[in-house]
Amino acid sequence: MDLKTDKRDDVVVLAISGSLDALSAPELADTISAQLGAGSVKLVADLAQLDYTSSAGLRVLLNGVKAARQKGGDLRLAAVQPNVKKVLDLSGFMSIMKSFPDVAAAVASYA
């Protein structure tokens, strides 16, 4: 997994690429935790380049969205690719997380 962080006004975009699994999920968990700890509670997960997510990845996303909402923010999804969307649908995540076709729309949704 490769993880890049970009700030757009008060929204932090986490671009996650490759595979989000038990080996890579801790890095994303740490990054989300650090952002929330620093007061950045409006998060966007850019999944345009994410090919795969396992249950470990799902747990990190779930913990992330819960923690962000507890702080008055949110973790929103952008550009979810079909393979990953199937997993998110199957696990019920699409029913509780806001998803947008691209990063610009996800960032704009916080306005």
Partner 1 sequence: MANQQTRVALVIGSGGVKCAAALGLYKALKREGIEIGMMVGAGVGVIYAALLALGLAPEQMADMGAQLWSHALTAKHKRRALWQILLPNVFGFDENFGTVDDTLLWERLRAAYGDAKIENTTIPLYIAATDFHNGEQVVLTQGNIVDAVRASLAIPYIFQAHRVDGRLLVDGSLSDPLPIGVAIKENANVILTLGFESPYQGKINALMRYSFQVSSVMSNNLLKANYAFHALAHHGEILPIRPQFQQHVGLFDTDKIPAIIAAGERAMEEQMPYLNKVLALAQ
Footprint of partner 1 on this chain (CB under 8 A)?
62, 65-67, 69-70, 72, 74, 91-92, 95-98
CB of 77 to partner 1, least distance (A): 11
Residue (8 or 71) nearer to partner 1, CB: 71
**DSSP state string for the chain:** -EEEEEEETTEEEEEEEEEESTTTHHHHHHHHHHHHHTT--EEEEE-TTEEEE-HHHHHHHHHHHHHHHHTT-EEEEES--HHHHHHHHHTTGGGTS-EESSHHHHHHTT-
Tell me the closest approach of the beta carbon of residue 18 to partner 1, in angstroms. 25
Nearest approach, Cβ of 4 to partner 1 (angstroms)?
Answer: 26
